Chain A
Amino acid sequence: MALPEQAPAAARPAPLALRRATLADREGALGRLLMAPAFLYVILLVGIPFVLAILLSFSGARSGSLAFSWVGLYHFATIIRDDQFQRTLVNTLIFTVVSQILVMILATTAANVLEAAFVGKRAVRMVLLLPWAVPVSLATMAWAWIFDSTFSVINWTLRAGGLMKGWIYWLGDTELAMAAIIIIHVWRMFPFATVVLLAGLTAIPTEIREAAVIDGASFWRRLFQVNLPLLLPVVAVAVLFGVVFTSTDLSVVYLLTRGGPYNSTHVLSSLAFQRGILGGDLGQGAAIALFLLPALVLVAIGLLRLARRSEVGG
């Protein structure tokens, strides 16, 4: 597709070979061609496993054997009745919703604070990014150490501050373990949400905010009636990001508790991993994993619609 390199004597009309339009000129075809490799790669490498997963969920396949026996809806029926699975479903929901709420509260506060200029602002922003920048597995291990049953530094600090008398076994008690998982999620995600909201805030044209000030609106009124509505598309995106990453997370749960104590802190992806890959029941694992997808798609569509509809000026 390179242009034939012919040098005309004078800088006059190009020689005949250059004059015909080539593929490199046809915009419609060029566009499709440029997009094709990326599109195909992702569709194939996500699509095929996806289809395979669906097929597996209807099969009695086990890892190590190549047999593919059709079992219909057996797995789905089984897991729905399974107490542990129901618990897992609830956990996934709780972790996602609670952490997102906390993240949004923290991030909104932080974004509004950081908007003002002050000494050390750049440093603060840099520090704020650390929890998100660090690989999730490493961060989880650090927190595992922080929550350690003998040496927990949080416990020591709480006792030193007089806020705690006895001793908490964070990872040995179901409720506490759930709290610990939520704490880690919130700690990881709120900085990212803050930076996004901050950027969204600065994207609101200054004239609009100045108009609100001149119109005499108080801080709270301005926050709820001007800033937040205009921030809605950005908030929707940040929430979507957070929901996807928290609900599909396996790392934090697996590394912190392995789903314990007694399988009470599992989420869908960690349970799928435990039963499907560790336990060898590929069919059941696939069925569990697929459970998440419809909900995720619905949430994604909902939030994207929200982001589109509330966009100012299209």
Chain B
Amino acid sequence: MRPRRVVVILKRIALYATAGFFTLLSIFPFYWMLVTAFKEDNDLYVAGTVRDHIPWIFNEPPTLEHYQYLLGDTAYLVWVRNTLLVGAAVVVITLLLAVPAGYALARLTGRIPPTLLFIPFSRVVSVLGLQNSLWALVLVYPTFTIPFCTWLLMGFFRSIPRDIEEQAMIDGYSRLAAIRIVVLPLAMSGVLTAAFFSFALVMQDFVYALTFISSVGKMTVSLGIPVALFRDVFNWGAMMAAALITSVPIAIVYNLFIDRFIAGLTTGAVKG
């Protein structure tokens, strides 16, 4: 029987090794993106059969030329602007509709199984080409952001004790006024989370953008980068540069909100 101490240490090592493995698994494509974005072309385009050229490191000093190309010679910034506009519009529409719906489902009715709300049934239906218009996207995106955010907000509203609303009603307000004055301020973090996830969901979409948008000047980043970044020669460096600077901000902000999202998800699933 091994002494406990040794077993504990072995377990610790196994723990760190597994954690390390998963970390590596998740992160290596990003590392590869990073490296590609800053490598000289002749450091990049070396056939994989060449043994002594190690692709994982910088064999030549890093360069900013891909970023210069990206920001100067492509429509990338236009796409960023488009994405922000569409995103903002969708967030507004979503919050306007999902906040009252989330409240109603949390307090006033209760017959919908909440998990149903975040299944994007709209994805299944092939969309039918309103041609080349960003407004089409603004119209269509809420069909999945609204159910998702309603479900999210439902969880947040449920966590606010009923007592407080009823106290406000006794203290002199109608239920609607009580919601506005007492409940909403307390649900602010939920509203922010919903806003963020609406935007994140918009950024994720590729299919609707592919279907609705055909002219380069109207594309979003998620569509433009894979499909329209270059006119003639394919440029992996620039593409990875674009992918990197688009991904990193989202990923950072995701982390700020993920706790709340998960809390909502498990309360919904575990306790119904």
A interface list, Cβ under 8 A from B = 1-3, 14, 22, 24-25, 27-28, 30-32, 34-35, 37-39, 41-42, 45-46, 49-50, 52-53, 56, 63, 106, 109-110, 113-114, 116, 118, 120-121, 124, 126-131, 133-143, 145-146, 148, 150-153, 155-157, 159-160, 167, 187, 191, 194-196, 199-200, 203, 233-234, 236-237, 240-241, 244, 248, 250-251, 254-255, 269, 272-273, 276-277, 282, 285-286, 289, 292-293, 296, 300, 304, 307-308, 311-314
Contacts and interface: CB of A to CB of B under 8 A. Distances in A.
Nearest to B141: A45
5 contacts: A30-B108, A37-B96, A41-B97, A118-B12, A300-B119
Given A45-B140, A151-B44, A142 B240 contact: yes
A118 B17 CA distance: 12
Contact of A118 (B15, B97, B121, B172): B15
Contacts of B127: 49
B48 A153 contact: yes
Contacts of A25: 174-176
A152 to B, nearest CB: 5
A66 B147 CA distance: 33
Most chain A CB within 10 A, of B46, B221, B236, is at B236
A129 B22 contact: no
B126 A273 contact: yes
A250 B211 CA distance: 11
A186 B104 CA distance: 37
A6 B222 CA distance: 54
Given A31-B104, A35-B100, A41-B146, A135 B46 contact: no
| Secondary structure dominating the interface of B | helix
Interface stretch (B58-66, B67-75, B187-195, B245-253): B245-253
Contacts of B108: 27-28, 30-31, 34
B225 interface: yes
Nearest to A132: B254
Contacts of B207: 250-251, 269, 273
Nearest to A256: B226
A308 B115 CA distance: 10
A53 B172 contact: no
A167 B50 CA distance: 12
A141 to B, nearest CB: 5
A114 B20 CA distance: 11
Contact of B27 (A127, A203, A236): A127
A191 B25 CA distance: 10
A138 B128 contact: no
| Secondary structure dominating the interface of A | helix
B19 A113 contact: yes
A42 B146 contact: yes
B251 A234 contact: no
A131 B247 CA distance: 10
Given A34-B108, A56-B128, A203-B270, A150 B100 contact: no
B258 A113 contact: no
A308 B112 CA distance: 13
A199 B48 contact: no
Nearest to B107: A31
Given A3-B177, A133-B254, A138-B225, A234 B128 contact: no
Contact of A237 (B115, B124, B205): B115
B206 interface: yes
A118 B19 contact: yes
Nearest to A200: B266
Contacts of B204: 135-136
A124 B174 contact: no
